[in-house]
């Protein structure tokens, strides 16, 4: 079973981008930890990052054919991309929304997630552990099937 981790705009700069908000870890370092945990749990894991809305949508479409579930940090697209929302709604595999920061404790515009209603669930505010919690959530879903 393969799990896909998708990171959207500006998340390639993790580690150097606003570390007081997003932490010191690079995306690469987070992905290494996720790979180790996924292997322990018996999953294949794949990573995709893009700053472009279309590329994220294309990868979500492809995931419906080759992945069991998706962990998605859509970055700022979370707050306004109806196209991304529709892509998630179009595929049947579970998508877990994640955010490093607690989006509800920040600016007003971050309190809206247009993707949340079509995601299986949302995890926000636990730093890099948000991704790990999403992995456990998917493991739980698959375990129930
Ligand atoms: C983020 C929160 C978003 O509001 C922001 O635009 C990001 C990162 C997070 O992981 O906390 O790029 O998704």
Q: How far apart are CA 5 and CA 7, in angstroms?
A: 7
In this structure, the residue with its CA closest to atom 13 of ligand 1 is 75
Q: How far apart are CA 70 and CA 16, in angstroms?
A: 25
φ, ψ for residue 103, nearest 5 deg = -65, -25
Could you tell me if the CB of 17 is within 6 A of ligand 1?
no
Quick one: which atom of ligand 1 is closest to the CA of 102? Answer: 11
Q: Which residue segments constitute the domains of the chain, with CATH numbers given?
A: 2-144 (3.40.50.9100)
pLDDT score of 145 more than 90: no
The tens digit of pLDDT for each residue in 49-92 reads: 999 999 999 999 999 999 999 999 999 999 999 999 999 999 99
Q: What is the pTM of this model?
A: 0.97
Catalytic residues: 22, 99
Mutate to test the pocket of ligand 1, among 10, 23, 51, 101 (most ligand atoms within 8 A of CB): 101
Chain-centre distance for alpha carbon 62? 16
Could you tell me if the CB of 110 is within 6 A of ligand 1?
yes
């Amino acid at each position: 079973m393969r799990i896909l981790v998708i990171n959207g705009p500006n998340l390639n700069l993790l580690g150097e981008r606003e570390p007081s908000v997003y932490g010191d870890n690079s995306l690469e370092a987070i992905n290494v930890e996720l790979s180790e945990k996924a292997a322990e749990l018996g999953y294949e894991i794949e990573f995709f990052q893009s700053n472009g809305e279309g590329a994220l949508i294309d990868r979500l479409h492809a995931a419906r054919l080759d992945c069991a579930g998706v962990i998605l940090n859509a970055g700022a697209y979370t707050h306004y991309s109806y196209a991304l929302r529709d892509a998630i709604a179009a595929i049947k595999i579970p998508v877990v929304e994640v955010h490093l920061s607690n989006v509800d404790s920040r600016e007003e515009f971050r309190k809206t997630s247009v993707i949340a209603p079509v995601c299986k669930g949302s995890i926000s505010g636990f730093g890099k552990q948000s991704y790990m919690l999403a992995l456990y959530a998917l493991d739980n879903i698959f375990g129930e099937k």
